Amino acid sequence: MKSEFFIPKSHPRYYSLKIREKLVEGFKKGIVPIEGLIAQGRGETFDYILGEKTLKPAIKSIKAAAALFLLAKHPVISVNGNSAALVPEEIIKLAEIVGAKIEVNLFYRTKKREEKIKKLLLSLGADIILGVGKDASATIPKLMSERRKVDPRGIFKADVVFVPLEDGDRTESLIKMGKKVIAIDLNPFSRTAQKATITIVDNIVRAMPELIKLSQKFKNYSQQKLKSILKNYDNKIILKEMIEAIEKRLTSKAAN
Ligand code: PTJ
């Protein structure tokens, strides 16, 4: 179900428009909820301000995320509609490299959409997808949204949960359960960004290939080296650096 509209490569916003098209296609296929298009719009705003590139603090977060993944005993990648539409192959690749399970977990949960996302990931080579239908039989305590329903083999028992593009109601609950949370969120002010153990403030389409690359590289590192990468990481400092980067960019734009 490709877009009927032609986007010329010469268009100054070609890449951004192509990402948008992926989400629209995902929406038409029943993978992305209509609210997911709004979420992308919010992300685009921050990306525009950041200059649509991966900034240095984000690279530090990606390195720490790779280290945490590789040190984890039960890492799980939580997939929603937007991440399934934008980076399905990358999710599978990352899971392979770091030995993570993949679980579908939706805020706007419907049986149909869960099944479609599972089918998409299986068709791209994933071997098992958790969290769909009756498999989501465990509950995240004190969480009221549909995201509370999780798989006992997956998010429920995970020590590290990766939540690319989250809506903010779950990260805090996962942290309270004693888990470590890695988030990708272009908005450094969001609740998810503020509460996660590691926040990658970057576009998911740029961050995922970098995370795959560094996870592959770090696989050769000793546990001690991975631990020291984590020890030197401070998420509060990273968020501060990202907010300062936004401030700097806005100030320089205002001066021109
Ligand atoms: O598939 P579901 O039912 O689980 O629903 C998924 C959405 C994304 C609709 C749901 O989680 C939601 O409503 O999310 P929010 O509250 O809009 O938050 C999404 C966050 O992701 C916002 O802080 C955006 O800035 C950020 N974001 C959006 N697009 C990108 C992004 N961050 C990185 N890369 C993007 N491409």
Is the predicted pLDDT of residue 221 greater than 70, yes or no? yes
Distance 174 CA to ligand 1 centre (A): 18
Cα of 39 vs centre of ligand 1, distance in Å, is: 4
> Ligand 1 within 6 A of 69 CB?
no
pLDDT of amino acid 16: 76
Question: What spacing in Å lies between the alpha carbon of 256 and ligand 1's midpoint?
Answer: 32
Tens-digit pLDDT profile for residues 139-155: 999 999 999 999 999 99
Is residue 81 pLDDT above 60, yes or no? yes
pLDDT for residue 4? 66
71 pocket-lining for ligand 1 (C-beta < 6 Å): no
Question: Looking at ligand 1, which atom is closest to the CA of residue 147?
Answer: 4
Comparing CA positions, the residue from 133, 134, 130, 112 lying closest to residue 122 is 130
Residue range 89-111, pLDDT digits in tens: 999 999 999 999 999 999 999 99
Question: CA–CA separation, 153 vs 89, rounded Å?
Answer: 22
CA distance 60 to 235: 10
Homologous superfamily (CATH) for 56-246: Phosphopantoate/pantothenate synthetase (3.40.50.12640)
Q: CA 109, 174, 73: angle at the middle one, nearest 5?
A: 105
Spatial contact of 147 and 168, defined as CB atoms under 8 Å apart = no
pLDDT in tens, 7-40: 777 777 777 778 899 999 999 999 999 999 999 9
User: Which ranges constitute the DSSP H helices of the chain?
Assistant: 14-28, 34-50, 56-71, 81-86, 88-98, 111-123, 171-176, 191-195, 204-218, 223-231, 235-255
Ordered by start, the domain boundaries in the chain are 56-246
CA atoms within 13 A on the CB side of 68: 29
Predicted local distance difference test score (pLDDT) of residue 8: 75
Does pLDDT of 1 surpass 90? no
What does pLDDT average to over the chain? 94
Mean pLDDT of 185-193: 96
Q: Please tell me if the CB atom of residue 204 comes closer than 6 angstroms to any atom of ligand 1.
A: yes
pLDDT band at 167 (very low <50, low <70, confident <90, very high): confident
If you ran DSSP here, which 8-state letter would residue 222 be given?
-
